[in-house]
Amino acid sequence: MNEFFTLKNGEKLIIRETQAKDYEAVMLFLDRLSKETVFTNQYPGQPYRDKENSIRIYELPTNLFLSAFAENGEIVGQISIAINKPGHPWTGRNASFGISILKAYYGLGLGTYLMQKIEEWARKQNLHRIEGLVRSTNKRGINLYLKQGFEIDGLFHEVAFINGEWHDEYHISKILR
């Protein structure tokens, strides 16, 4: 279902679940993203992901995969959340998320809105815990998560080797009460 979100600068975006027909737009988005930031795991020149597998992931009932579309139909932001071990009697209520937005759209409220959408979905699924990873130098990301009620569980040392340097990552989580 389409939803409209108005950014702080007045631009309107369409937010909806990612579908098979969006595959090319997703690949273009990831390609752009990879050239703008080292805070996700997308890297420049990354081979295109297998189409069938990508589409299967968009449509899994244990995932929510939202895209934010500008008026010209291009994707400018995405968020996804996936139950880690669906149906597991002990850990089946835990889910991991990832979020990415193009630079031109930073700081306009989209990240906050998308985080609220995954939390809403997680609560409807009766999930207990949402978790993720964030590079320790990603101040904007860390601020966003802390503002949304996430806590830092701990630091993983030297997880990613980027441009000649090792980068640490925080593990973050929010318990849904």
Q: Closest approach of Cβ 152 to ligand COA, in Å?
A: 12
Contacts of 11 (CB under 8 A, 6+ apart): 70, 71, 108
Distances (CA, A) of 139 to 29, 93, 147, 155, 169: 22, 28, 12, 15, 12
Residue 69 found at the interface with ligand COA (CB under 6 A): no
Q: Closest approach of Cβ 89 to ligand COA, in Å?
A: 29
Q: Closest approach of Cβ 38 to ligand COA, in Å?
A: 9
Q: Closest approach of Cβ 30 to ligand COA, in Å?
A: 12
Residue 64 found at the interface with ligand COA (CB under 6 A): no
Stretch that binds ligand COA, among 12-20, 33-41, 123-131, 151-159 (CB under 6 A): 33-41
Residue 67 found at the interface with ligand COA (CB under 6 A): no
- How many other CB atoms are found less than 10 A from the CB of residue 119? 18
Residue 6 found at the interface with ligand COA (CB under 6 A): no
Size, binding site for ligand COA by CB under 6 A: 21
Contact between residue 69 and residue 19 where contact means Cβ atoms under 8 Å apart: no
Residue 118 found at the interface with ligand COA (CB under 6 A): no
What region does 169 belong to: left with phi over 0, alpha with psi -120 to 50, or beta?
A: beta
Residues of the shown chain interacting with ligand COA in the complex, contacts defined by CB under 6 A:
37, 39-40, 99-101, 106-112, 134, 138-141, 143-144, 147
